[in-house]
Amino acid sequence: MTDELKDIIYADLFRYTGNARRFKNIYTCYLEERRSSPEFSYISVMRRTRYYSDQIKKYDGFRKWLYQVKFSVSNFRLDRLSRKYHFQIPYDTEIGKGFYLAHFGRVIIHPKSVIGHNVNVSTGVVIGTQFRGKRKGSPHIGNYVWIGANAVIVGNIRIGNNVLIAPGAYVNFDVPDGSIVIGNPGLIRRSPGATLNYINNTILFDEYNVRSDGVRQW
């Protein structure tokens, strides 16, 4: 397993455990977590399927064939987990590091959606596309976003960083940084600490509005 794939799986696992690197190696860490967490099980297989798909495009000959075999096996497993846990999150969806599914159960994400780092998604969430009108397309969701149960986010909209989408909210409009969205139709309330204590075990990156001392800058 390459460092690229290890890093993203470690990042996702850290969101669940708070200390992914306590394990001896990447295999023991994701095997242990997959036994206890169907959510992480799906995420880890989804990441591997995406990685193998990307590698197929880079190589020819035997290495390409090898990645095609790995992709086929991984994609088959992903399909089985999708049917078992009712996650409909295609492997080719652009999802940043530190992705967190709160509970297993129906979650639908359109493959053209773009999701940032340190994003929490709860049960019953739909992130979908709009097929006509000025919002035709799929959502772009920023970093440090918490999406509550049964929320719907639809259309070519921009959700900023540090945003909390309340349970049951319907969002088909742009949302600025540092906001809470409540209700259907959704209402925006500005809140600099919108996701404070909602998103735990975050992956810290300077380039994602985080200082080197770990203090978030909104």
DSSP E strand boundaries for the chain: 87-88, 94-95, 100-101, 107-109, 114-115, 119-121, 126-128, 140-141, 145-147, 152-154, 158-159, 163-165, 170-171, 179-182, 187-190
Does residue 52 carry a pLDDT above 50?
yes
Residue 3 is predicted with a pLDDT of 76
Q: Are residues 100 and 180 in the same domain?
A: yes
Report the C-alpha gap between 8 and 209 in whole angstroms.
Answer: 19
Q: Are residues 56 and 116 in the same domain?
A: no
Same domain? For 45 and 125 the reply is no
Q: What is the pLDDT of residue 23?
A: 60
pLDDT tens, position by position, 106-140: 999 999 999 999 999 999 999 999 999 899 999 99
Residues 31 and 119 in one domain: no
Residue 127 belongs to a domain:
yes
46 and 148 housed in the same domain: no
The C-alpha atoms of residue 9 and residue 21 are separated, in whole angstroms, by 11
Read off the amino acid at residue 77.
Answer: R
Domain boundary among 68, 86, 104: 86
Is there a domain that residue 173 lies in?
yes
Q: What is the mean pLDDT of residues 89-107?
A: 94
Question: Which tens digit of pLDDT belongs to each residue from 184-213?
Answer: 999 999 999 999 999 999 987 644 443 333
Query: In the listed set 60, 86, 112, which residue is the last one of a domain according to the structure?
Result: 86
Check residue 40 and report its DSSP letter: H
* pLDDT at residue 128 in the model: 96
pLDDT in the model for residue 216: 41
| Residues 146-190: tens digit of each pLDDT | 999 999 999 999 999 999 999 999 999 999 999 999 999 999 999
62 and 32, same structural domain? yes
* Overall number of domains in the chain: 2
Q: Is the pLDDT at 79 greater than 60, yes or no?
A: yes
182 found inside a domain: yes
Where does the pLDDT of residue 92 fall: very low under 50, low under 70, confident under 90, or very high at 90 and above?
A: very high
DSSP state of 158: E
For 211, the token pair is 């200082």
With b meaning 16 or more CB within 10 Å and e meaning fewer, what string describes 174-212?
ebebbbbbeeeebeeeeeeebbeeebeebbeeeebebee
What is the rounded CA–CA span in Å between residue 110 and residue 124?
14
Residue 213 in domain: no
In a domain? residue 67: yes
Does residue 68 sit in the same domain as residue 131?
Answer: no
Clarify whether residues 82 and 121 are in a common domain: no
**Do 185 and 98 belong to one domain?**
yes
Is residue 165 assigned to a domain? yes
For 94, the 3-state DSSP assignment is: strand
Count Cβ atoms below 10 Å from residue 158 Cβ, excluding itself: 13
Supply 134's token pair: 């000025």
* Contact predicate 134/174, CB 8 Å: no
Q: Residue 213: is it exposed, middle or buried by C-beta count within 10 angstroms (0-12/13-18/19+)?
A: exposed
Structure tokens at 73: 């096996």
Percent of the chain predicted with pLDDT > 70? 86
Which of 40, 62, 86 terminates a domain? The answer is 86
99/165 same-domain check: yes
The pLDDT score that the predictor gives to residue 217 is: 37
> Which CATH number fits the domain that encloses residue 149?
2.160.10.10
Specify the pLDDT at position 162: 95
Reported as a pLDDT band with limits 50, 70 and 90, residue 13 is confident
Selection from 71, 76, 16 nearest residue 199 by Cα: 16
Q: Are residues 98 and 78 in the same domain?
A: no
Is the separation of the CB atoms in 150 and 124 below 8 Å? yes
Mean pLDDT, the chain, as a whole number? 88
Range of the domain at 28: 3-86
98 and 127 co-located in one domain: yes
